[in-house]
Amino acid sequence: MATTIDTPAPAGFFEALEEHAFSPGWAKREPQMWGKPRPKYRPMVWRYADALAALSKSVDFVSTEFAERRNLILVNPVPGNIYPTCRHLVAAYQLVMPGETARSHRHSPNALRLVMDASPGIYTLVDGVRVDMAPGDVVLTPQWMWHGHANYSDQPAFWIDFLDVPLVQNLENMYFEHHEDTLQAVESSDPESPLRFHGAALAENVRAQGDVAFGQAQMPTIGLHAICLAAGERQDPVARIDNNIYAVTAGEITVEVAPLGTVTMTRGDVVVVPSWHPFSLAGGAGGGQVLRVTDEPVFTKLGFRDVGLER
Ligand code: GTQ
Ligand code: FE2
């Protein structure tokens, strides 16, 4: 074993280092490497009913004319955090009232929404193309595509947004701009847009296959899976390298994860399981379906998924 002989630093040595923006690597204020992952974020469940109630109240004093979006961000409840749902992703519940539009903009982050409640006449306008939204649909707005929303139905529209904003912020690549027209003009309509995944088709495919991955061609950083679990069917517990947000799309799903314990979730409820937390999902009474939104593609593309720790 190597031995080191430590002698005191000359007077003023550390102060002089600081002047040159140096810090001694042998005496760090806090360690920067550790033996096992230390997940910063924690598991959390959000209830659709709570979001519906709060968003419905907010209508009295928040209009989409002034707010960029009428949305409630699912902020991971670790001390000091004010935005991310987990390290690389953020989720939000959004409400657009009948007759309202949410103005067109574009940004470097990728985004998608999972439609919870919508009637005919509700659509997202993507680069001037009208893409209709029905309950259960997933509509993608990949990076830098213009997008705005319109509700020309007689019912409120609720959906859940997912974006890779925290990843993009970590990459120092966040930028955003408004469209010169408040809502971009509709140039055409494409109900079968490749950016739209119909809820009905997803539900049917997933009943047959259990797990259906989709949207990978359009979204480089966000993985999407429709997952179906029969009553009592339980996934093996795993601790994943990636971060996962699950939103229940039908039926009942239970999630088991410390420190939450076993939690039963129904349509519109969301759970985040940040990386390295062992967890398992199971079908509740009557079974259920979930949308899994994950940053797994980031780890895969960068080569971090299959090296290192035994997991
Ligand atoms: O609908 O374009 O929840 O840009 C957050 C940022 C929704 C959106 C959010 C957004 C949007
Ligand atoms: Fe947006």
User: Domains of the chain: which residue ranges?
Assistant: 44-179+188-302
Which pLDDT score is estimated for 4?
Answer: 65
Measured in Å, residue 256 CA sits from the centre of ligand 1 at 30
Mean per-residue pLDDT over the chain, rounded = 96
Burial of residue 286, with CB atoms counted within 10 A of its CB: 0-12 exposed, 13-18 middle, 19 or more buried:
exposed
Sign of the dihedral through C-alpha 97, 99, 100, 103 = positive
Share of the chain above pLDDT 70, in %: 98
Burial of residue 179, with CB atoms counted within 10 A of its CB: 0-12 exposed, 13-18 middle, 19 or more buried:
middle
Measured in Å, residue 213 CA sits from the centre of ligand 2 at 23
pTM attached to this predicted model: 0.96
Which pLDDT tens digit goes with each residue over 238-272?
A: 999 999 999 999 999 999 999 999 999 999 999 99
Which pLDDT score is estimated for 246?
Answer: 98
Measured in Å, residue 252 CA sits from the centre of ligand 1 at 27
Measured in Å, residue 43 CA sits from the centre of ligand 1 at 23
Q: Which atom of ligand 1 is nearest to the CA of 147?
A: 2
Nearest Cα to Cα of residue 249 among 196, 183, 216, 201: 201
- Residue 164, pLDDT > 70, answer yes
Q: Which atom of ligand 1 is nearest to the CA of 105?
A: 2
Query: Under 8 Å CB-to-CB from 296, ≥6 apart: which residues?
Result: 223, 240, 241, 242, 244, 305
Nearest Cα to Cα of residue 158 among 98, 81, 233: 98
- Quickly state the pLDDT bin for 3 (edges 50, 70, 90): low
Select 44-179+188-302's CATH number: 3.90.1010.10, 1.10.10.10, 3.40.50.261, 2.60.120.10: 2.60.120.10
Q: Tell me the ligand closest to 144's alpha carbon.
A: 2
Which pLDDT tens digit goes with each residue over 269-300?
A: 999 999 999 999 999 999 999 999 999 999 99
Q: Which atom of ligand 1 is nearest to the CA of 73?
A: 3
Q: What is the mean pLDDT of residues 64-72?
A: 95
SS3 170: helix
For atom 8 of ligand 1, the residue with the nearest CA is 69
Assess contact for 135 and 199: CB atoms under 8 A.
yes
Angstrom CA distances, 308 to 221, 240, 311, stand at 22, 13, 9
Q: Which atom of ligand 1 is nearest to the CA of 109?
A: 4
Structure tokens, 96: 């657009």
Pocket of ligand 1 from Cβ distances under 6 Å = 69, 71, 92, 94, 111, 147, 161, 163
Measured in Å, residue 62 CA sits from the centre of ligand 1 at 15
